[in-house]
Amino acid sequence: MKRWLGVALGIVTSIGGFLEIGSITTAAQAGAEYRYQLTWTIVLGTACIGLLIEMAGRFAAVSKHTIADAMRERFGIHFFMVPLLLIFFISLLVLAAEIGGVAVAIEFLTGVHFPVWAIPVALLAWGLLWYGTFSMIENGISALGLITIVFVIVGVRLGPDWHALAARLLPSLPDKEPAHYWFIAVSILGASVSPYLFYFYSSGAIEEKWDETHIAPNRMVAAVGMGFGGFLSVAVLVVAALVFAPRGIKVEEYKQLPLLLSIPWGRAGFLLFAGSLFITCIGATAEITLALAYEIAQGFGWNWGEDLEPSDDARFSLTYTVILLASSLLVLTGIDPLKMTTLSMALTSASLPVAILPFLVLMNDRKYLGEHTNGWLGNLAIVVITVLASVVAIVAIPLEIMGGS
């Protein structure tokens, strides 16, 4: 019974924690400019992250090592420094975008320009991490994230053409501005398949003391939780297709985002959007901050753990403190959060092969996984995802230049 409650909770937190400023912005842009055409990229991205998250969870449950920890052990410090530094600096940008997202949500509610809120938001996130526990952050904030179901309700009530939507679940070529189309496609993939999620998820499995009995529940959480999370992204796309596209509204400024819900639902919609943005972005802020601190602490063999008191893991706690401070300074500069988001999503896409390729080695290591190594299907999935990620990595930056906003 307890195991099934754990599965239910895991699914809830996966759904509630799925959306953040990257997935909201890229889905809104896709819907506004290409209606349902880019639905397939959300489906593809969700499938990829679901598979990789399942592997990260299984790896931690069986080996009692996290992904970052095992990467240092298996590849050595020189190979480990490459993904460490690359993913660290790109994720700092993503973190700045999320802090910007929270600040923007507060701007919507108060009218005070977002950079003013950078430090208070960082302090709030810091307080959650310093004084909170892992389950409080993972379960509490992510459960609140279920507010984003409002996108599904609005989407359904707007009466989409279900046949047209279903047809777009499969890849299609754009009928206009191909560079921009593929740029948004790449950004959606970057928003869905975020490397920090592997570090966060495998560390969470160790925080929650998973073992081999968690393998089956983990599979369910990854499939159902991520699946429904992706469904929420599709809902945002559908709402944008029905609200923005007919009015010719392109998502070029962050101040346009609340129109997604305020046009159909007025003031209530506006408040729901601001609330959704606040909760999802503060959740993502906590997750990314922890993920980066985990990566560093585990790579260097320090004590770490959100459930530990800061005095028991001072290096880990002060690492995430510095990370939050550095990212909030980026927001203080006043760089448009929308631009920060699209840039960080493109860079994330470009870094994917480096983040994913180690899975091919680790998920087949019998010393770590015993009999729970990948089957041929799992390995094929990693190879396909890596090839896809490599193609995306090569085109991401040129597309950002050619087709970005």
Which spans of this chain sit near another protein (rule: CB under 8 A)?
63-65, 69, 72-78, 80-81, 130-131, 299-304, 309-311, 313-315, 317-318, 360-361, 364-368, 373, 376, 379
Least distance (Å) between residue 130 CB and another protein: 7
Q: Closest CB to another protein among 28 and 369?
A: 369
Considering beta carbons, is residue 46 or 203 the nearer one to another protein? Answer: 203
Nearest distance from C-beta of residue 211 to another protein, angstroms:
12
Put residue 249 in one of left, alpha, beta given phi > 0 → left and psi -120 to 50 → alpha. Answer: beta
Three-class SS string for 341-352?
HHHHHHHHHHHH
Full DSSP string of 75-128: HHHHHHHHHHHHHHHHHHHHHHHHHHHHHHHHHHHH---GGGGHHHHHHHHHHH
Cβ nearer to another protein, comparing 98 with 295: 295
Q: How far apart are CA 30 and CA 182, in angstroms?
A: 10
292, 354, 348: which is closest to 88 by C-alpha? 292
In terms of CB distance, is 187 or 317 closer to another protein?
317
Distances in Å between the Cα of 119 and the Cα atoms of 21, 144, 328, 332 are 18, 23, 6, 8
**In the complex, least distance from residue 307 CB atom to another protein, rounded to whole angstroms:** 14
Torsion of CA 198, 200, 206, 207, to 10 degrees: -170
Nearer to another protein, 227 or 305 (CB): 305
Nearer to another protein, 112 or 314 (CB): 314
* Shortest Å, Cβ 365 to another protein: 6
The CB-of-82 to another protein minimum distance in angstroms stands at 12
Residue 77 beta carbon to another protein: minimum distance, rounded to whole angstroms: 6
Answer whether 37's CB lies under 8 Å from 198's CB: no
**What is the residue type of 296?**
I
Is the CB of 133 or the CB of 172 nearer to another protein?
Answer: 133
- Amino acid letter at 400? E
CB of 390 to another protein, least distance (A): 19
